[in-house]
Amino acid sequence: MKTIRVNDRLSIGPQPNLSDFSELRSLGNVSVINNRADGEESNQPTAEEASLKAKAVGLSYVHQPVTLGAITAGDVRQFQKTVMELAGPVFAHCKSGTRSLTLWALGEVLDGRLQPSEIIPFGKQFGIDLKAAAEWAANHTRADGGK
């Protein structure tokens, strides 16, 4: 299973199969955040199935589905809060990892640790296109640092 380490607390990646949860645990993860809505594809496990499997192998599990084109500041803040409140390390996923990294990057922008102009290069270092995140930041923050 492909995982991308963002920092000591967070890794992101694509939708795990139910059989991948044991591997996620063996990689040192303690918690999982699912940023994918149920039913996006017919073959994806439901959040309930994934939660049961995660808990069976000793992982905490949170379902926070988001749609890339409809992310709100509330979604970003909830993701940040969840990442910090869960026991870590945390693995967050969606279909590809893009939504999860988007939520993280936008939190960094809202908190002033990442500039909107740095979002696309930040994503590139992980092989993820964060153009939608950069557009969101341009529409939700001001150049003077205001929100």
Is residue 57 one of the residues assigned to a domain?
A: yes
Give pLDDT tens digits for 75-117. Answer: 999 999 999 999 889 999 999 999 999 999 999 999 999 999 9
Is 84 inside any structural domain? yes
Give the number of domains in the chain.
1
pLDDT at 19: 94
Answer whether residue 24 is part of any domain: yes
**Is 117 a member of any domain?**
yes
Q: What is the CATH number of the domain that holds 111?
A: 3.90.190.10
Q: Is residue 11 part of a domain?
A: yes
Residue 42's φ and ψ, nearest 5 degrees, are -65, -25
Q: Is residue 145 part of a domain?
A: no
The average confidence (pLDDT) of the chain is 93
Structural domain includes residue 147: no
Query: Residue 110: inside a domain, yes or no?
Result: yes
pLDDT value at position 1?
A: 87
Per-residue pLDDT, 142: 54
Q: How confident is the model at residue 125 (pLDDT cuts 50, 70, 90)?
A: very high
Domain that holds residue 62: 4-140
**pTM (2 d.p.):** 0.93
